[in-house]
A and B are shown apart, each in its own frame.
Chain A
Amino acid sequence: MAAALPSALAGDATRPGQRTWLHSLVRWLFIAVSLTFLAAVLLAPLATVFVMALARGLQAYLHSFADPDTAAAVRLTLTTALAVVPINTLFGLAAAWAIAKFEFPGKSILITLIDLPLAISPVISGMVFVLLFGLHGWFGVWLREHDLSIIFALPGIMLATMFVTFPYVARELIPLMQQLGNDEEEAAITLGAGGWMTFFHVTLPKIRWGLLYGVVLCNARAMGEFGAVSVVSGHIRGLTNTMPLHIEILYNEYNFVGAFAVASLLTLLAALTLVVKTLVERTGYRRR
């Protein structure tokens, strides 16, 4: 056996397309390692969330959502995502279009700037807005005179979320659009199509999967953002608490069931986004 193994390694294992015992061993080994890793790092924590949320039974779980502050947090998070995601999608499209299709001075600076929110700590992203619009910020006095509140209010939360999430769509689209090139658009133009027609019938279908993926990522981050929002929100229960912030508060109050119940909802919302994305892709592919 000791002699058989090296010969098997030298002969069979190096021959591609041959189903030897060694081949299947390697295959199962890789699958097992991946699955174990996934279970330890991803599935176990996720399972914990649901186990903890349902620790006192379904009744207690559902009861957590009856709390008006919790309901307000869910509403706030969804409102923010609904406002931020479309705006960032438009911005990401415009930026990717500009970068992929045109040559202009300062292009590399623009690319770097788009990446900036990914590099900066979210706390600083929030601080920036406090420094700008806070009571002692640059526009603080003016805002107070006009009775406008940005910090510790919805606009501040939206701004901070927008800042943190704006790279996602652009980052997805720039390499894709650069790789796909301009030929199809140019063909459409020579065939007589105008700008909108070219965009909706040629460009958009071409980039739709990349765009969808960018939107999903953007949405996930918008709903889950903690650091930047934490700085600008002011943690006012029932008013400026988003779901992640609310989870922390409940947890600190030793309300574990409540905290994990909201956490499970956030997880479910993320899962739902992924399911929607997959479904859209599926139907898209089936139509082809």
Chain B
Amino acid sequence: MSITLDQVTKHYAGAPVVNDVSLDIGDGEFFVLLGPSGSGKSTLLRAIAGLSAVDHGRIALHGRDVTHVAARKRGVGLVFQNYALFRHMTVAENIEFALRVRHMRATARRQRRQELLRLVALEGMDQRLPAQLSGGQQQRVAVARALAHKPEVLLLDEPFGALDAKIREELRRTIRQVQRALGITTVLVTHDQEEAFAMADRIGVMNLGRLLEMGAPHDLYSRPATRFVATFLGAANLILARRTPDGIQMGANTVAAAERSPGVEEREVVAVVRPEEVEVAASRDALSSGYLASGVVAEVVFTGALESLRVRLENGVQAPLLAQPDGAAGASLLVTRTQHEQRGFEIHPGQSVAIGVRRVHVLPTPLSSFTACAASPALADALSRQPLLAELAVRMKTRIAMRAEPQLGVPEAACAADGPFVGTTALASQTDCAHQAEWLLRRGAQDLLVVPEHAAVPQRVLIHWMGEGARSATLAVSASVLRHLSAEAVYVGIFPEQSARARAQHGMRELLDARSEAQLAHGLEMRTELRFGDVAQELALRLAEAPAQMLIVGVTELTRFAERFSGLLDGGQWPMLIVYRGSP
């Protein structure tokens, strides 16, 4: 491996800007770190270069641990967004700088310089000053300068940011050629997904300091695992659907039967439909793909090669659409069509069309939507406006439904509302909360979020499960929640007090197992902690340490549930997500 990052964390003013990032980049690989501004990608790159220290974790280059090695001794080449050429030196002096530092002889320096200038197609520019060059040429010089000392790793920090489109494309090609010719391991940071697609062997998508997903461009585009990646890499329609034994059901229609697997439990899922996978036709019969609904064309935009449509779904379709890529919610689908498709069926705004879906991808996230549950509609409405819940829904681009249960908490009473519990159920934290939580869990709620009235977005999330049966579900839910928070994740393993000595060894192994499973199966990086004592008590102690924390607890059985958790739940100050996997 050329570059190995192990749980790299960097805090700025108390908040993590790089949050537990682990990553392996292979020899000669072109790796692109992609993310919106403020996602921590540049900070991570600077950490690799040694220009900013990390608070936690390890960085290794070619197997050599460089976490505490000074930047000048790391042997990396770094290219900055604004070139950072030495403005008072000529092109030649700029390129030879690293060689002069290394006391190379003048003739050898000149030879190497000419070699590099040829590589970046700038021969004969030796005696120019940076100010006499265009932006594209300056960046070429910067690339040549960064390569002069034959670094093992080339790092590029938004190198095309300040250039116009034509030059950008040309320089992209040059850099890719140079990288291939030298076989040098390269990391490029960008916020431009098109650039990432064009250049990368592998892309890592960052958001809120976390490395969410990585993979080959095509895999990430066609099979994203998270909402963020689905909507950040190109445009996507996010749709709440149901996974049934027959396939993916959106509203009344089953649109995709491809992923048929009879063993699958029926539940709500988040489906991704790319705009180019949506088909529009004059009538249902004219569709060549699975029928979704009928709709009215709201907007037609010509963008050159493609035509971009916004189609509002007609009544009678219950498929609730989640947010659009631009953040506008509402039941309208984004569709793109090629010239060929446009010639086949011309479309004008206001026209009624039948909508089909060619391909559906289901996100593996266990958290689809929220249902605010309370004793009356008014209370449920108030709960749905609770800041933390509302913020989570916005970040997860999902909706909050409402459900009134007048008998909530009354033993032996049945559910008032029809239908099963869908998605994550939310419950307000109050005096009788533990009993109400148990009541809901016994009646089919699987993921239950208890929100105190004044709970804010957490900075730290504690994770714990009671019983191995809840382990993988708890990890999946935790990973899904944490993708939308910049909080750090801590798994707290708790064992009974009396077994402290005997179990310490075993406990450590369990923690490490949990960590590696979180990492491998869910891409979740978390810290681990070992404690001895009563579960609820230890968790309460840990929660009391700092404000803005959240608790995720997995449970497999409900005996004595209310009794055990009344201390944490009844009138508690911390939001708590209960993941219940057992027989209701």
Contact = CB atoms under 8 A, between A and B. Distances in A.
Interface of A: 183-184, 186-194, 197, 201-202, 205-206, 288
Interface of B: 49-51, 70-78, 80, 82, 84-89, 97-98, 101-102, 129, 142, 145-146, 148-149
B103 to A, nearest CB: 11
Contacts of B70: 189
Contact of A191 (B50, B87, B97): B97
B88 A187 contact: no
Contacts of B148: 191
B84 A191 contact: no
Nearest to A202: B86
Contact of B51 (A190, A192, A194, A288): A190
8 smallest beta-carbon distances between A and B, as pairs? A183-B84, A191-B98, A190-B78, A205-B88, A187-B84, A192-B101, A189-B71, A192-B72
A194 B88 contact: no
A186 B89 CA distance: 16
B149 A192 contact: yes
A7 to B, nearest CB: 43
A205 B102 CA distance: 21
A183 B51 CA distance: 11
A191 B77 CA distance: 7
Given A189-B70, A192-B149, 16 more contacts: A184-B84, A187-B78, A187-B80, A187-B86, A188-B86, A189-B51, A189-B72, A190-B49, A191-B146, A191-B148, A191-B149, A192-B75, A193-B72, A193-B101, A201-B97, A206-B88
Contact of A190 (B72, B85, B102, B129): B72
A189 B46 CA distance: 12
11 contacts: A184-B86, A186-B51, A186-B84, A187-B86, A187-B145, A190-B146, A191-B72, A191-B149, A192-B102, A206-B87, A206-B88
A183 B87 CA distance: 11
Given A189-B72, A193-B101, A288-B129, A184 B78 contact: no
A145 B34 CA distance: 71
Q: Taking chain B's interface residues, is the majority helix, strand, or loop, or is none over half, making it mixed?
A: loop
Contacts, number: 67
A100 B98 CA distance: 25
A288 B132 CA distance: 11
Contacts of B73: 192
Contact of A192 (B84, B85, B98): B98
Contacts of B98: 191-192
Given A191-B145, A192-B72, A197 B82 contact: no
Contacts of A194: 72, 101
B81 to A, nearest CB: 9
A205 B74 CA distance: 26
Contacts of A188: 86, 97
B82 A190 contact: no
B133 to A, nearest CB: 14
A94 B49 CA distance: 26
Contacts of A186: 51, 71, 78, 80, 84
Contacts of A190: 49-51, 71-72, 74, 76-78, 146
B97 to A, nearest CB: 5
Nearest to A287: B88
A56 B117 CA distance: 70
A201 B149 CA distance: 18
A142 B486 CA distance: 61
Determine which residue in B51, B74, B75, B149 has the highest number of CB atoms from chain A within 10 A of its CB, and name it.
B51
A183 B82 contact: yes
B102 to A, nearest CB: 6
Nearest to B51: A186
Among A184, A189, A192, A288, residue most surrounded by chain B Cβ atoms (within 10 Å): A192
Contacts of B75: 192
Nearest to A204: B88
Nearest to A284: B88
Contacts of A202: 86
Nearest to A195: B72
A83 to B, nearest CB: 30
Contacts of A288: 88, 129
A206 B72 CA distance: 21
Contact of A197 (B78, B84, B101): B101
A288 B102 CA distance: 26
A186 B78 CA distance: 9
A123 to B, nearest CB: 43
A288 B50 CA distance: 33
Contacts of B82: 183
B447 to A, nearest CB: 42
B48 to A, nearest CB: 11
A193 B70 CA distance: 11
A183 B146 CA distance: 13
Most buried by A among B87, B88, B145, B149: B88
B275 to A, nearest CB: 39
Considering residues B51, B84, B102, B149, which has the most beta carbons from chain A within 10 angstroms of its beta carbon? B84
Most buried by B among A188, A190, A194: A190
A188 B146 CA distance: 10
Given A183-B80, A183-B82, A186-B51, A191 B88 contact: no
Give the residue among A186, A187, A191, A201 with the most B Cβ atoms within 10 A: A191
Given A184-B86, A186-B51, A202-B86, A191 B80 contact: no
Contacts of A184: 84-87
Nearest to B81: A183
Contacts of B86: 184, 187-188, 201-202, 205
A201 B89 CA distance: 9
A193 B88 CA distance: 17
Contacts of B85: 184, 187
B97 A193 contact: yes
A184 B86 CA distance: 6
A193 to B, nearest CB: 5
Contact of B101 (A183, A191, A205, A206): A191
B146 to A, nearest CB: 8
Contacts of A189: 51, 70-72
Nearest to A187: B84
Nearest to B151: A190
A192 B142 CA distance: 15
A206 B97 CA distance: 15
A69 to B, nearest CB: 47
Nearest to A186: B51
Nearest to B98: A191
A61 to B, nearest CB: 45
A189 to B, nearest CB: 5
B18 to A, nearest CB: 18
A176 B208 CA distance: 34
Contacts of B51: 186, 189-190
